[in-house]
Amino acid sequence: MLSPFLGVYGPPPVTLVSGQGCRVTDDRGRTYLDFTAGIAVTALGHGAPEVENAVRSALDSGLIHTSNLYRTLPAERLARALIEHSFPGGVFFCNSGGEANEAALKFARRYAGTVHGPGRSGFLAFRGSFHGRLFGTVAATDRPAYREPFLPVMPGVRFADFDLDAVGAVLDEGETAAVILEPVQGEGGVRPVDPAFLQGLRARCDATGTLLILDEVQCGLGRTGRLFAHQHAGVTPDILTLAKPLAGGLPMGAVIATPAVDATLKAGDHGTTFGGGPLVSTVALAVLERVADPAFLAEVARKGQRLADGLDRLVDGHAAVRGRRGLGLMQGLALSEGSLAAPVVQRAREAGLLVVSAGPDVVRLLPPLVVDDADIDEAVGILDTVLSSGGDPS
């Protein structure tokens, strides 16, 4: 049968019809342990009572959407809660990670243009980065294949290695408005940034009047065992972007920026029709209250260690696995030279475990944050079997 979809995705391997907790079921009645969580989105699992109750309570008001012409209480409560949990400033709501980063880039240009004068419009991004598919965010994404068919994209982005000397060489005080990076790279292969590097980068940004934008679209909101991944390094960004898990599976993004950035923004500088609607905001507040709970975060950290320990045993036991990287419940298995992730992902699925690749040779594990120890052990066991049975997975 001809697909009704435009051809930007590969052929989907299964049709999912239902889900509960960390499991999803396909149209043939087969159940899978879901260690993708919709790419780090359904942090509270499928059918989460907090999410369902929040949806119901939001529906009771009759207001699903109002636009940003009017104030609504759910958006205001959520914005206040986000600031309380992060740093003083203001919040802009949108509908996706790409939109959040696109807004962050615009806000940074507005700030730099206002504070430093014209010309300071460039950005510094990093090797392996992924910030989205829009013309600005794809320009800051280090995947030439995502960019080249669509040139010209936003000009002015330079890329650096994770090395302060390299940053010093490309960060131009006359040109660079902001530095943008993920504290833990997701699509780029599950790579936590060295906390000392992040601290050094913060100092370099302060010394040069450059804004620091942290993209926590994937690693934020509890995934690493802290509410925000940058808290592991003890640095605060000027602009923080969030999205994937924010509204429990409903589309939502957020940008948090300092009062100094906010002071340069004027009514009309940016906007969105849907962003921050009362339905998604109600759900996001319920998600935030759950994931910001210190006991919840401590459990994420503990379970992340259990998963990491299990994966480390796979590194020791299989020649096809080169190493493990990650933080909390964001983990990756880097395969050995010549081994590809796609066949491992496929065989895991056939064995009842959903995982996702991160680049050509990294198998990424992003379970719901409510995953339990038995699920973790089962997932590691399935991967052990899959890696044993496949020989060279390429």
Binding region for ligand PLP (CB under 6 A)? 96-98, 101, 130-132, 182, 186-187, 215, 217-218, 243-244
CB 135 within 8 Å of CB 154: yes
Our answer to whether residue 60 is catalytic in this structure is: no
Q: Distance from CA of residue 176 to its chain's centroid?
A: 24
C-beta of 101 vs 331, nearer to ligand PLP: 101
User: In the bound complex, what is the minimum distance in angstroms from residue 303's beta carbon to ligand PLP?
Assistant: 21
User: In the bound complex, what is the minimum distance in angstroms from residue 101's beta carbon to ligand PLP?
Assistant: 6
Catalytic residue among 35, 93, 244, 303: 244
User: In the bound complex, what is the minimum distance in angstroms from residue 243's beta carbon to ligand PLP?
Assistant: 5
User: In the bound complex, what is the minimum distance in angstroms from residue 215's beta carbon to ligand PLP?
Assistant: 5
268: left (phi over 0), alpha (psi -120 to 50) or beta: left
C-beta of 74 vs 220, nearer to ligand PLP: 220
User: In the bound complex, what is the minimum distance in angstroms from residue 287's beta carbon to ligand PLP?
Assistant: 16
Q: Which residues pair with 256 in a beta bridge?
A: 91, 240
**Phi, psi (5° rounding) for residue 158?**
-110, 155
Our answer to whether residue 215 is catalytic in this structure is: yes
Our answer to whether residue 228 is catalytic in this structure is: no
| Segment 56-65 long-range contacts (CB within 8 Å, at least 24 positions apart) | 57/282, 58/278, 58/279, 58/282, 58/283, 59/279, 61/278, 63/278, 63/279, 64/277, 64/278, 64/279, 65/274, 65/277, 65/278, 65/279
Q: Which of 142, 13, 79, 53 is nearest to 275 (CA)?
A: 79
C-beta of 217 vs 382, nearer to ligand PLP: 217
CA 247 – CA 327 distance, rounded (Å): 22
CA 215 – CA 185 distance, rounded (Å): 9
C-beta of 191 vs 303, nearer to ligand PLP: 191
C-beta of 241 vs 281, nearer to ligand PLP: 241
Catalytic residue among 92, 123, 130, 228: 130
Catalytic residue among 215, 238, 361, 375: 215
User: In the bound complex, what is the minimum distance in angstroms from residue 81's beta carbon to ligand PLP?
Assistant: 21
User: In the bound complex, what is the minimum distance in angstroms from residue 95's beta carbon to ligand PLP?
Assistant: 8
Closest residue to ligand PLP: CB criterion: 97
- Distances, alpha carbon 249 to alpha carbons 46, 95, 280, 304, in Å: 9, 11, 9, 22
C-beta of 251 vs 381, nearer to ligand PLP: 251
C-beta of 244 vs 325, nearer to ligand PLP: 244
CA 327 – CA 366 distance, rounded (Å): 11
C-beta of 244 vs 318, nearer to ligand PLP: 244
Which of the residues are catalytic?
A: 130, 215, 244
